[in-house]
Structure 1
Amino acid sequence: MELSVFYAPDILPDSQTYTMNEDTSKYCIQVLRHETGDQVGLADGKGHKFTATITDDNRKRCMVSITAMETIPAVSPSRSIAIAFTKNAGRIEWFLEKATEIGIETIIPLVSHRSEKDKIKPERLNSILVSAMLQSQQFYLPVLEAPQSFEHIIKTNKTAQRFIAHCLPEQKQSLVEAIKPGEDAIILIGPEGDFTAAEIQMALQAGYIPVTLGNTRLRTETAGMVAVTLMASTLNK
């Protein structure tokens, strides 16, 4: 039987005991009806997997005794996406959830000339990432960066493989054909109005490879989903 796994961001790798916060305790004891003596799992989002036994089933401060700790190897190569956040919060939240389930490592809210949104609610978005991490039984929480301008990303990001997906009728490769297995990769996904011609030119001059994600025009969150899926299936071949 699989253990229920709970998020423990402040647990240390050598911890012998741990006290869950009030929200997690309530979910563990009141919703899932765990009690003293039950075994549960803990994840710190940094690759450590803990097995623990509940020693105090208090609904506000559930205490556990750590019985085992395992370090899960990080995925390599790493996969990153810089994506323009949509005005409709629900659409980008759906993307964050699914990208986490697939196994993205880093998400950068990209602010381009035509972006609809340049501010985020990190607490809410991180809670979505945590839930998706636990649901998909992973032990690394994706890094959600602060919003960054298109120009900043272009000038500072030095990932080995850098791609930009855009809709202008210029020569582009399929992402599947362009990407090389075994090397870290980042892809830029623009807003609904696409990147401007000047932004695309800036990216190309900085060494970004122009790619297509298929034969149809995709919404921002769909394009992000396709990109994350293709990177996950190609980089680790």
Structure 2
Amino acid sequence: MNWTAIKSIYFFEMARFFRTIAQSFISPVLSTSLYFVVFGAAIGSRIQEVEGVSYAAFIVPGLIMLSVITQAISNASFGIYFPKFIGTIFELLSAPVNFLEIVIGYVGAAATKALFIGVIILATAYLFVDFQIQHPFAMIGFLVLTCISFALMGFIIGIWAGSFEQLQLVPLLIITPLVFLGGSFYSISMLPPVWQVISHFNPVVYLISGFRWSFFGQADVSIGLSLFAISAFTALCLGVIWWIFKTGWRIRQ
């Protein structure tokens, strides 16, 4: 394992993140505050509790997941797309670095950035509502797994994209709707029976449900199924990336 190459890629990506540290702080804090004002105050005043938890506290895991998923995808996709766009990807491919080391460097940096944002949002949430995390280690585990898995997905999107417009296409048209329809701001048990069945085909439901369980000890689906879903998704993304580097699809073409 070429740890020098991994560290070089990782710290280069992290340096780009810290150059815009003010934006990285202000944007998630502002957006989270607005969500709490709109959903926590306005809607929360009409929905007192959801499954025994105050509505303002209930939406905290969903807000964190919403930001973490979008940030992980955005950072990873741009991180690998930009060297492909300017042509430096060929220098990387010709260096004595294998695909796993490249993935660890880029995906590790993107996951770290997303995790950093998640922690900021969690701290911001404490300013608006009181809540307790019943299973802190499970919460950290779910958060880290989510950051890694969606950073892997973002890496795939960055390789697939042929333009900056395509870079935003999948997150805007697929990922964001799935997150909003995945129980971020409601429990799927509140839906009509038909829509409850349909919701179980949304993979994000399992992520948010497991993450919410780590906070409040209750979930829409079993914790084991949530862990299986995120593990399977991570394995699938790794398999796709392995195939991309093996065939050179969208990299050498």
TM-score (norm 2): 0.26
Structure with a larger share of its residues in helix: 2
| Structure of larger gyration radius | 1
TM-score (norm 1): 0.28
Structure with a larger share of its residues in strand: 1
